[in-house]
Amino acid sequence: MSEQKIVNDLSIQVATVNGSGSQSANNIIIKTLFRMGIPVGGKNIFPSNIAGLPTWFIIRANKNGYVARKNDVDMVIAMNQDTIDEDMKNVVSGGIVIYNSDLKVSDESKRTDVTLYPVPFNTIAKENFADIKLRKLLTNMLYVGFVAEMIGLEEKTVKEAIHDNFKGKAKAIEINMQAYDLGANYFKENCVKQNKYFIERMDENKGKILIDGNSAGAIGALFAGCTFVAWYPITPSSSFCETLIQYLKEFRTDDNGVATFAEIQSEDELAAVGMILGAGWAGARAITSTSGPGISLMSEFVGLGYYAEIPAVIWDIQRLG
User: How many angstroms separate the CA atoms of 266 and 149, rounded?
Assistant: 44
Among left, alpha and beta (phi > 0; psi -120 to 50; other), residue 57 is beta
- Number of residues that make up the chain: 321
Q: Which residue would you say has higher pLDDT here, 206 or 1? A: 206
Over residues 185-202, mean pLDDT: 96
Instruction: Quick: pLDDT tens for 134-150.
Output: 898 899 999 999 999 99
Provide the 10 A C-beta neighbour count for residue 17: 18
Predicted local distance difference test score (pLDDT) of residue 20: 76
Predicted local distance difference test score (pLDDT) of residue 294: 92
74, 93 in Cβ contact below 8 A?
no
Q: Which residues make Cβ contacts (< 8 Å) with residue 148, sequence separation at least 6?
A: 29, 32, 155, 158, 180, 183, 184
pTM: 0.85
Predicted local distance difference test score (pLDDT) of residue 208: 94
Q: Which of 100, 189, 176, 102 is nearest to 141 (CA)?
A: 176
* pLDDT of 46 above 80: no
CB burial of residue 185 (10 Å; 0-12, 13-18, 19+): middle
Over residues 217-231, mean pLDDT: 97
Per-residue pLDDT band for 3 (boundaries 50, 70, 90) equals: low
Q: Which of 231, 225, 219 is nearest to 265 (CA)?
A: 231
DSSP, collapsed to helix, strand or coil, labels residue 94 as strand
186, 119 in Cβ contact below 8 A?
yes
Predicted local distance difference test score (pLDDT) of residue 52: 66
78, 88 in Cβ contact below 8 A?
yes
Predicted local distance difference test score (pLDDT) of residue 48: 62
Over residues 266-291, mean pLDDT: 96
CB burial of residue 96 (10 Å; 0-12, 13-18, 19+): buried
Predicted local distance difference test score (pLDDT) of residue 71: 86
Strand partners, 43: 58
* pLDDT of 304 above 60: yes
36, 229 in Cβ contact below 8 A?
no
Per-residue pLDDT band for 1 (boundaries 50, 70, 90) equals: very low
Cα angle vertex 39, ends 38, 41, to 5°? Answer: 125
Instruction: Quick: pLDDT tens for 250-269.
Output: 999 999 989 999 999 999 99
The rounded mean pLDDT for the chain is 93
DSSP, collapsed to helix, strand or coil, labels residue 259 as strand
Per-residue pLDDT band for 320 (boundaries 50, 70, 90) equals: low
Predicted local distance difference test score (pLDDT) of residue 110: 87
CB burial of residue 65 (10 Å; 0-12, 13-18, 19+): exposed
* pLDDT of 65 above 80: yes
Instruction: Quick: pLDDT tens for 15-44.
Output: 998 777 788 999 999 999 999 999 999 988
User: How many angstroms separate the CA atoms of 166 and 160, rounded?
Assistant: 10
Instruction: Quick: pLDDT tens for 89-131.
Output: 999 999 999 999 999 999 888 899 999 999 999 999 999 999 8
DSSP, collapsed to helix, strand or coil, labels residue 10 as strand
Per-residue pLDDT band for 2 (boundaries 50, 70, 90) equals: very low
β 286-290/228-231 pair status:
parallel
User: How many angstroms separate the CA atoms of 251 and 260, rounded?
Assistant: 9
* Percent above pLDDT 70 for the chain: 96
Predicted local distance difference test score (pLDDT) of residue 219: 97
